[in-house]
Chain A
Amino acid sequence: MIRLAVISGKGGTGKTMVTAALAHLYAGSLVLADCDVDAANLELILNPTLLCTDPFMGMKSAFIDPAACVKCAECEAYCRFNAVDWTGTVFRINPFRCEGCAVCTSVCPVTAITMQPRQTGEIRYSDTSLGHLVHARLVPGAGNSGLLVHAVKKTILERDGSSNRFIIDGPPGTGCPLISTISGVDAVLVVTEPSVSGLHDLKRVVTVCRQFRPLILVAINRFDLDAFQAGEIEIWCRTENIPLVGKIPFDPAVIQAVRAGIPVTQAGTTLAAQAIQILAANLEQELKHSGNQQ
């Protein structure tokens, strides 16, 4: 199984659009995961049929029994996350701030605090015309998105481990969800855009990726919106010895396809679709070169 994660560093560069188009081009013995669990969008293009769901239990959260609490404020003093609120009458745990460390339970002199399981998301296993899709929903404002990403990937490997290809739509950023996404993948495709922010964020995410040693590939989306910045990215990739596998032009057909809820490669022969076909062919070549053959 070849595991490819489509990531970006900077948000909104076109990860999901590229992931859906690649999935369309590679259809057959393919599984997909949406690891942008905060704001999962792949389902809006792939029109999935839900097969089953699993609750996702994040870290447990502290709960103070108001009847048992003697209001000594030890829990508030020891909590490093400012998760204990004094309401004026009782001490209460702020669930947004509680990181589940359980320190309060060990300092409470009257054992009024217990750790309670909480569901902070849902894992969804679905069928699409291109292959199975595992996606997730994090309760807005909940933590543990890295753990949820891990659970999404695990679900794919358990249920569809015999597929030839595993494509992940990744999260933006460089923190825990991203690290959880790229651990164990064979290759990452970083989709960037021609801007000072795009290049800056590309450099940062590549630094993080290198710690995990996958094959790193880059594609520039909307490259013609700023030819100079696109050139800067090309030069940087060459200096760093990172293959630039695709340059996708700005094309209103992309937004039209997103609004229609289909991969852009399915929406006829457009400039963007042609560019992504070339990207897919180059990506294939690079995977072969690096020894990641099917």
Chain B
Amino acid sequence: MKLAVASGKGGTGKSMVASNLAFTLVSSGQPVTLVDCDVEEPNLHLFFPAPATTTDVTVPVPVVDEAACDRCGKCEEACQYGALTVLQNRILFFPELCHSCGGCTLVCPERAISEEPKRIGTLATSTPLPGLTLISGTLDAGSPHAVPVIRAAKKQAGGDPEVIFDTAPGTSCPVVEALDGCDACILVTESTPFGLHDLQLAVDVASRIGVPAGVVINRSDGKDEATTRFCVDHDLEILLTIPFDREIAAIQSRGDLLCRARPEWQKDFTALILKCRALAGVEP
């Protein structure tokens, strides 16, 4: 099963759910690949410290051979992102605006534009526990384009049978990229007006992409009526409710795992996995 953990609102506990699911699976002897797709602020490695093999994620960017270029301006015209400006004596290139589409190299009549790889982030792969493969995508500081790093992290997980993707908050392209192709997704929320508002947006995204979704309510203070009503109205199953508890917060804040510090929680996460399999329509 390819399972994504998403949320809309940030800080609801996506990484907590994803890391405890993975821990529970490997504790029961099932190998799993955990992929950190929150490449702007990846955190899973903090919960699973281990030596990692790191590779660069690169994207192709244009290089202009000034000697061959006759400043015709076709590349500037073709670039929809404003990444190329043709001056009288040279071409200016703004790498942070480039989407690496290759359009400029295609239209250059003098074949003066070639491409070279530019690093925008890294992938770190480790085996923090027997059976657990962790792939963490990290966007370089100052690089705006998260999507190619997410794509590379997902590709690295390849055809592994059991994969859990921890996504970025929000509802835009990084979330779409992470959810694309998943069998099911867990939407983690909290019972506040902010949590509910952003849950509605996240449900919308999951349904537009066509990924079946269920809900986990985290840090519940018992006042979950509005969230529960929304879930009933939208035919969303509440898969698990985790109460607000200072001890759980402390376990999480020091970088430990709930299911390791309080093993009685493993049965809740095992049940969560089974419910996700049912949601995805795969064999238990």
Contact = CB atoms under 8 A, between A and B. Distances in A.
Q: Are A and B co-members of a single complex? A: yes
A271 interface: no
Interface in B37-74: 38, 40-41, 43, 46
B103 A102 contact: yes
Given A196-B253, A225-B250, A228-B254, A41 B194 contact: yes
Contacts of A248: none
Given A99-B101, A107-B106, A225-B246, A211 B253 contact: no
A175 B144 contact: yes
B242 interface: no
Nearest to B44: A197
A133 interface: no
> A103, A143, A177, A179 — which one has the most chain B CB atoms within 10 A of its CB?
A103
Contacts of B282: none
Interface stretch (B26-34, B196-204, B229-237, B266-274): B196-204
B234 to A, nearest CB: 14
A207 interface: yes
A176 B145 contact: yes
B80 A261 contact: no
A10 B8 contact: no
A174 B254 contact: no
Given A173-B41, A207-B141, A261-B193, A102 B80 contact: yes
Contact of A96 (B180, B190, B202, B221): B180
A142 B209 CA distance: 11
Nearest to A211: B142
Interface in A87-131: 96-97, 99-103, 106-107
B10 A12 contact: yes
Contact of B9 (A12, A144, A201, A261): A12
A265 interface: no
B172 A201 contact: no
A259 B193 contact: yes
A195 B253 contact: yes
Contacts of B176: 96, 141, 143
Contacts of A154: none
A246 to B, nearest CB: 18
Contacts of A259: 192-193, 223
Interface in B1-24: 7-12, 15
B240 interface: no
A140 B142 contact: no
A200 B246 CA distance: 21
Interface residues of A, number: 66
B100 interface: yes
Contacts of B78: 102, 106
B10 A141 contact: no
A263 interface: no
Interface in B159-176: 168-176
A195 B80 contact: no
Given A145-B173, A229-B254, A178 B40 contact: yes
Contacts of A176: 144-146
Contacts of B141: 174, 204, 207-208, 211
A11 B9 contact: yes
B171 A208 contact: no
B166 to A, nearest CB: 12
Contact of A225 (B192, B193, B202, B249): B249
Nearest to A145: B172
Contacts of B38: 173
Given A41-B197, A99-B99, A103-B106, A141 B253 contact: no
A258 B196 CA distance: 12
B139 interface: yes
A44 B194 contact: yes
Interface in B238-267: 246, 249-250, 252-255
B182 interface: no
Contacts of A197: 15, 41, 43, 46, 253, 255
Contact of B10 (A145, A172, A229): A172
Given A172-B10, A179-B144, A38 B172 contact: yes
Interface of B: 7-12, 15, 38, 40-41, 43, 46, 78, 80-81, 99-103, 106-107, 139, 141-146, 168-176, 180, 190, 192-194, 197-198, 201-202, 204-205, 208-209, 221, 223, 246, 249-250, 252-255
Interface of A: 8-13, 16, 36-39, 41, 44, 59-60, 78, 80-81, 96-97, 99-103, 106-107, 138, 140-146, 171-179, 193-198, 200-201, 204-205, 207-208, 211, 225-226, 228-229, 252, 255, 258-259, 261
29 contacts: A9-B41, A10-B11, A37-B172, A38-B169, A38-B201, A44-B194, A80-B100, A102-B78, A103-B106, A106-B78, A143-B176, A145-B173, A171-B170, A172-B10, A173-B41, A174-B139, A174-B141, A176-B144, A179-B144, A195-B252, A195-B253, A196-B255, A197-B41, A197-B253, A200-B41, A208-B142, A225-B249, A228-B254, A229-B254
Given A172-B41, A173-B169, 7 more contacts: A39-B8, A97-B180, A101-B80, A176-B145, A205-B41, A225-B249, A225-B250
